[in-house]
Structure 1
Amino acid sequence: MTVLLDLTADPVDLTADLVNVPSVSGSEAELADAVHQALARQAPHLELARSGNTVLARTGLGRPSRVVLAGHLDTVPINGNLPLVRTGGGDTEVLHGCGTVDMKGGVAVMLSLAATVLAPRHDLTFVFYDCEEVEAARNGLGRVERELPEWLAGDLAVVCEPSNGVIEAGCQGTMRVEVRTEGRRAHTARAWMGVNAIHALGEALRRLTDYQPRQVDIDGCRYREGLQAVRVGGGVAGNVVPDEAVLAVNYRFAPDRTPAQAEAHLREVFDGFALTVTDHAAGALPGLTAPAAAELVAAAGGAPVAKLGWTDVARFAALGLPAVNFGPGDPTLAHTKEENVPAGQIRRCAEVLTRFVTDSATGADTGDH
């Protein structure tokens, strides 16, 4: 059965309709079809394209700049929090359910803009992508970058992930490493004949305990770094001195460092230990001095903050676009059974983005909306 979406409805009602279409990662086809069909019927001014369960739409007005708005259609597995429940009323209304925060409120805002802003002062590209909540190799943005790279070109990217309606600029980088120690096996009854590899990790753990993470200000945003042990392993039996141990460490680093610089820093911290990088992703500089980014900050009001975490803004930053997170919902509620979003926050985000794409620097409206 085809789901019918009204893209001109109140974005709060549109959020409710989106949430009630289950779209756990890998099962986005029904929702992607509904979004594609709704855009084809209700937004004939947009050029459309499809890549798997990613739906793309864009204007072609020849504006001097282009803004890319991106949001994922998938959710984490449902946890007894569907169908949607609405409580309260008006701007005090709250929507409860899987995907309300992460991130169908943001997707509803994007769809509303796509259908109702007919003459924006920036050309606009909308990317509704799949498989964000699973391993990076399946992420729809990566597929679009490989197959349709021209659709990701622009002067600013706005990822409508939940940010409590505040602009979160850039994002941290992340690196995971393993610190390994070697010893010599022996029976624990004759422990002096062996060398305990787990005990040898004590110095590495001491360095972590004493470590003072940096705080870095970039474009007025403060990024707090972090270096934490996340797993310890070693030993083969309860009566054997272990001959190998592994300490897994996660480093969240400010975007003024490249992954190569982050690795060099960790090798300095753990000098004398065998260290292997197991995973990394570059961060994204805030780029708030770019003209389009500065205009969005002005439209939103308030002070932007650093994004403490990694998001797909980093993918856009790697393509040369300044990128920010801006969307409704408290990110600390994402992936929880208690996921919920205030209706007023959805409407405010829609109003801010509409103002950003339609109002000139002097406040004149250049388009119908």
Structure 2
Amino acid sequence: MTNDKEATDDVAALPAALDLGHDVVALTEQLINIESVSDFETPIADAVEAALTRLPHLSVHRDGDSIIARTGLGRSERIILAGHLDTVPLPTTPGSRGTVPATWEKGEDGEDVLYGRGTTDMKGGVAVQLALAAALTEPNRDVTYVFYDHEEVEGHKSGLGRLYRNNPELLGGDFAILLEPTDGTVEGGCNGTIRFRVTTRGKAAHSARAWMGENAIHGMADVLTRLAVYRPVTVNVDGLAFRESLNAVKVSGGIAGNVIPDHCEAEINYRFAPDKDPDGAEEYIRALLPGYELERTDAAAGARPGLNHPAAAAFVETVGQVPKPKYGWTDVARFSAAGVPAVNFGPGDALLAHSDDEHVSANAIRACYGSLYEWLTAQQ
């Protein structure tokens, strides 16, 4: 016999029930209300897995808090639709609307707007994936739906990276779409990113007798000046103009208010166009800062636009807007590195991601769903 407390505990242990047959906007709200800050994705992964396993036309595989669901119709092409389940931490500013649970407001034009953590980055996109997974029992192309954990943290934790290590055979495809927010426009490829630690060295001395030492912070002035006057270049890659950027993002040095510092470090970040690989980007920075002590601390290759594939061209035609480049790094780079051309396409404004008033319009979510549904059901 089960007592009331045990029954309550059993109910609490069940995953949240997601209604994949409901409106995609309502599904977005359901997902937002399952808090899923990085490292705590299990509840939302449980809910997604439970919903997908109820769909008989899909085979479902789970690895940690990542889920892959696939059709097996024997189509001539396979498309990947991918999105991450985690969010950045909830805002701490009192009165912030980009939190959990989600809330609704009317926009200036009377449009319904959904506020909450993950509305743009990227539970609107995940809702579109799930709704399509339920609706498309006979798509014109085979589809692999990928939902993964740990995107908003260090790259070595990436759920997508883990899936590629553990289950690469499940991630094969001809073309991939990552449903990151792009305001409903196809954004091809992405810039790469690389970071360096620049070190200047001096000689410590009492600040009252500064001439006895050599100030390492002052020695960093030339580096910072070179970065300040640097003008970012724009590189055309496969028809898209990728704007680069180079900045100092952190400076540290000194041990006390009366000591001439003998050591100073600056961290610099270079966002480079996908015509270069990380080694080429490093060569470029070393030529810009010759003679300085440079240590490469992190790097991730970018991705070429991926628009040359016939499936990509058909999708761009369906969306009906001129593609743009993706300036930030996204996981399209992981697909590209595996030989799968990939683009970004999702609801919401990327500039609102991680903000205290993160939000997305209901119309943007429905439009994203509509474009993908039309493309995956059109006669070929």
In the alignment, does 2:28 pair up with 1:12? Answer: no
Alignment of 1:284-303 (within 5 A): 284-303=303-322
1:338-362: CA deviations, max 9, x gaps? Answer: 011100000000010111112135x
- On the 8 A contact 1:91/1:342 being kept in 2, the answer is no
> 1: distance between equivalents of 2:52 and 2:69?
8
Q: Which residue of 1 aligns with 2:223?
A: 204
In the alignment, does 2:36 pair up with 1:23? Answer: yes
> 2: distance between equivalents of 1:39 and 1:10?
16
How large is the RMSD of aligned CA atoms in angstroms? 1.5
Q: Which residue of 1 aligns with 2:198?
A: 179
- On the 8 A contact 1:28/1:73 being kept in 2, the answer is yes
Aligned length: 360
> 2: distance between equivalents of 1:313 and 1:141?
11
Q: Which residue of 2 aligns with 1:112?
A: 131
> 2: distance between equivalents of 1:68 and 1:121?
13
- 1:53: Cα distance to partner? 1.1
Alignment of 1:70-85 (within 5 A): 70-79=82-91, 81-85=99-103
> 2: distance between equivalents of 1:316 and 1:129?
14
2:214 to 182, 185, 195: 195
In the alignment, does 2:179 pair up with 1:160? Answer: yes
Q: Is 4-13 or 85-94 further displaced after alignment?
A: 85-94
> 2: distance between equivalents of 1:273 and 1:4?
57
Q: What secondary structure sits across from 1:189 in the alignment? A: helix
Alignment of 1:209-248 (within 5 A): 209-248=228-267
Q: Is 221-230 or 29-38 further displaced after alignment?
A: 29-38
- On the 8 A contact 1:23/1:73 being kept in 2, the answer is yes
Q: Which residue of 1 aligns with 2:8?
A: none
- 1:316: Cα distance to partner? 0.7
> 1: distance between equivalents of 2:44 and 2:250?
38
Structure 2 unaligned spans of 5+: 1-11
Q: What secondary structure sits across from 1:198 in the alignment? A: helix
In the alignment, does 2:358 pair up with 1:345? Answer: no
Q: What secondary structure sits across from 2:321 in the alignment? A: coil
- 1:305: Cα distance to partner? 0.5
- On the 8 A contact 1:91/1:343 being kept in 2, the answer is no
Alignment of 1:301-312 (within 5 A): 301-312=320-331
2:121 to 73, 90, 102: 102
- On the 8 A contact 1:159/1:313 being kept in 2, the answer is yes
Structure 1 unaligned spans of 5+: 362-369
Q: What secondary structure sits across from 1:285 in the alignment? A: coil
> 2: distance between equivalents of 1:35 and 1:246?
45
Q: What secondary structure sits across from 2:137 in the alignment? A: coil
Q: After the TM superposition, which parts of structure 1 deviate over 6 Å for at least 4 consecutive aligned residues?
A: none
> 1: distance between equivalents of 2:76 and 2:187?
25
- 1:91: Cα distance to partner? 8.5
1:176-214: CA deviations, max 9, x gaps? Answer: 101111111122222222111111112212211222221
> 1: distance between equivalents of 2:90 and 2:35?
8
> 2: distance between equivalents of 1:198 and 1:4?
57
Question: Quick one: which amino acid aligns to residue 69 of structure 2?
Answer: A
- 1:87: Cα distance to partner? 2.3
TM-score normalized by structure 2?
Answer: 0.92
Q: Which residue of 2 aligns with 1:251?
A: 270
> 2: distance between equivalents of 1:219 and 1:303?
14
Q: Is 241-250 or 103-112 further displaced after alignment?
A: 241-250
In the alignment, does 2:143 pair up with 1:143? Answer: no
> 2: distance between equivalents of 1:120 and 1:91?
35
Q: Which residue of 2 aligns with 1:66?
A: 78
